[in-house]
Amino acid sequence: MTEAARPGGTPGENRTGRPGSTAVVVGGGLAGVTTALALADAGVRVTLLEGRPRLGGLAFSFQRGTLTVDNGQHVYLRCCTAYRRFLDRIDAAALAPLQNRLDVPVLDAAGRPGRRLGRLRRDALPVPLHLGRSLATYPHLSLAERARVGRAALALKALDLDDPALDERDFAGWLAAHGQSARAVEALWDLVGVATLNAVARDASLGLAAMVFRTGLLSDPGAADIGWSHVPLGELHDRLARKALDSAGVRTELRTRVTSVRAAEGGGWRVEVPGESLDADAVVLAVPQREAYDLLPPGALDRPERLLEIGTAPILNVHVVYDRQVLSRPFFAALGSPVQWVFDRTEASGLSEGQYLALSQSAAHQEIDEPVAVLRERYLPELERLLPGARGARVKDFFVTRERTATFAPTPGVGRLRPGARTKAPGLYLAGAWTATGWPATMESAVRSGVSAADAALAALGRPRDHLFVHEEAA
Ligand SMILES: Cc1cc2nc3c(=O)[nH]c(=O)nc-3n(C[C@H](O)[C@H](O)[C@H](O)COP(=O)(O)OP(=O)(O)OC[C@H]3O[C@@H](n4cnc5c(N)ncnc54)[C@H](O)[C@@H]3O)c2cc1C
């Protein structure tokens, strides 16, 4: 083991030449990259340590022959203000544009193929009228169901999101108590909720569900406009993030797994990686909850075992390359079928001929370990049912990506298990989509957690909060 190194360049100086504070950020997912950028922007000398050979954590790309594949389709909403600032900060906003106006085609496979198309879209009217026309004409619900959805939406708007009791209740129970039929849950609440929460309503905390629907659909007319990357995720979260980190003066070490974090003798923290130890004034653990549990020194949290009680939920992506175009829209959601959301990945993947579709299957507990052959038998006929053009098309490639621990499980009661950024150990902080951001496990939650951890560290270091990621309430 070498002598303990200080993050950055000359000991005791930051890139501005002033005597400076130092920080080590462990984990190069969106939470860690955000923390590192925010700290470096505020003049702290930062080292970012990531165990894998790339940045981006759970949102990454890989090569399959000439195809660049995302491990899972990722979307964000206009209300994801922190993630949007992150995209701005890494100079990537133009590569992941938002729809001008929310517009989700919803195909019902139970009707005649291709005929039962509904749309969830908004008008240029104030909340909640912006969704009124879309709801009034949504063909997948009866007139009475649509009226009851409207009433439930207003009841949801009236909930007090600061009431911790909401987190203890499940969303399905609340929906039933507010007159929502099984069909309304399937065709509307779960259609949106499963994709955003990674859980069906009966497995979801009312608090988190209410937060998602309130923020997305009932805060600002444009809040639910959907954005997604038009290039591989790795281009944003790895290449451009790395470029921004480099120009901010962050020392980034990939393939560098942290094995322990402990208090250093002269104060501050000592971080051990194979072959090196680093000393720093502040350490941020931006790793998943189980890894955080393993790395936390004794006494840092009152009940660290609670981190292990936070469950996880899987997401499966099914990838199909056809020899021709079978879908003319960028994406759609499906009903009456195991297919959930389908995205056209052709351009982003670099495919030059034919069409590449990715099926994003959330809360995929039943399917995550199914063999590829079984999934192929299940999904290809379903796509033919939904997309008439797929019937005569040749499947050139079929594969799946499985993320068994894609998100934390947003189960009732999870809120009290999620710790904030500060620990009881001065100078040691937590970040990650699973920490107490108030959001479900999303890119937005990851970025928000990174901002909170950086803010807590900067406050303790006595440094101004001089970075671009400022929460909207303070902006
Ligand atoms: C298939 C899929 C689809 C998704 N879809 C969406 C979506 O549409 N919209 C959305 O907003 N969110 C989506 N998400 C969720 C989103 O990707 C995550 O919430 C977010 O990326 C989590 O970021 P993070 O930084 O908190 O954690 P992570 O991405 O898990 O990053 C943690 C990092 O820490 C590293 N690490 C762990 N231990 C160590 C160690 N000891 N030393 C060094 N490094 C270590 C890991 O390698 C990892 O890179 C999806 C996730 C998946 C998997």
Distance between CA 39 and CA 33 in Å, rounded?
10
| CA nearest neighbour of 6 among 267, 281, 195, 210 | 281
- What's the pLDDT tens digit per position in 34-72? 999 999 999 999 999 999 999 999 999 999 999 999 999
Q: What is the DSSP letter of 205?
A: B
Q: Ligand 1 centre from 147 Cα, in Å?
A: 39
The pLDDT, as a whole number, for residue 466 is: 74
Q: Give the C-alpha separation, 403 to 385, whole Å.
A: 27
The number of CA neighbours under 13 Å toward the Cβ of 171 is 28
Distance (Å) from CA 434 to ligand 1 centroid: 10
pLDDT of 126 reads 87
Residue whose CA lies nearest to ligand 1 atom number 13: 442
Show Cβ contacts of residue 21 under 8 Å, excluding neighbours closer than 6 positions: 14, 43, 44, 45, 281, 282, 461, 463
Distances (CA, A) of 94 to 30, 61, 256: 18, 19, 31
Question: Which of 415, 420, 286, 319 is CA-nearest to residue 62?
Answer: 319
User: Do you know the residue count of the chain?
Assistant: 475
pLDDT at position 218 is 87
For residue 470, what pLDDT is reported? 61
| Weakly modelled stretches of the chain, pLDDT under 50 | 1-3, 8-18, 114, 472-475
How far apart CA 387 and CA 391 sit, in angstroms, is 7
CA angle 14, 256, 239 (to 5 degrees): 75
Minimum-distance ligand 1 atom for the alpha carbon of 406: 53
**pLDDT score, position 115:** 55
Distance CA 284, CA 301 (A): 14
Mutate to test the pocket of ligand 1, among 442, 449, 452 (most ligand atoms within 8 A of CB): 442
Backbone angles phi, psi at 272, to 5 degrees: -105, 130
Whole-structure pTM value: 0.95
3-state helix, strand, coil in the chain (%, to 5): 35, 25, 45
Distance 406 CA to ligand 1 centre (A): 7
Q: Please, what are the domains in the chain?
A: 22-58+233-310+412-461 (3.50.50.60), 120-217 (no CATH), 312-408 (3.90.660.20)
How remote is the CA of residue 114 from the centroid of ligand 1, in Å? 36
H-helix or E-strand spanning residue 321: strand 312-322
Q: Which two tokens stand for residue 222?
A: 């444009």
- Sole residue written with tokens 């209740």: 169
**Closest ligand 1 atom to Cα of 27:** 34
Cβ distance 341 to 316 under 8 Å?
Answer: no
Residue appearing with tokens 């399959």: 64
Ligand 1 atom nearest the C-alpha of 52 is 47
pLDDT of 162 reads 93
Ligand 1 site: residues with CB under 6 angstroms? 26-32, 49-52, 57-59, 71-72, 74-76, 257-258, 286-288, 291, 315, 317, 403, 406-407, 432-433, 441-446
> What phi, psi does 128 have (nearest 5°)?
-95, 10
**pLDDT digits over 288-301, tens only?**
999 999 999 999 99
Asked if 197 and 136 count as a contact pair (C-beta separation under 8 A), the reply is no
Q: Report the distance separating Cα 117 and Cα 111, nearest Å.
A: 9
Q: Which two tokens stand for residue 171?
A: 């969303």
pLDDT score, position 467 = 74
396 SS3 class: strand
Two structure tokens written together for 402: 């499985």
Contact 358, 345 (CB under 8 A): yes
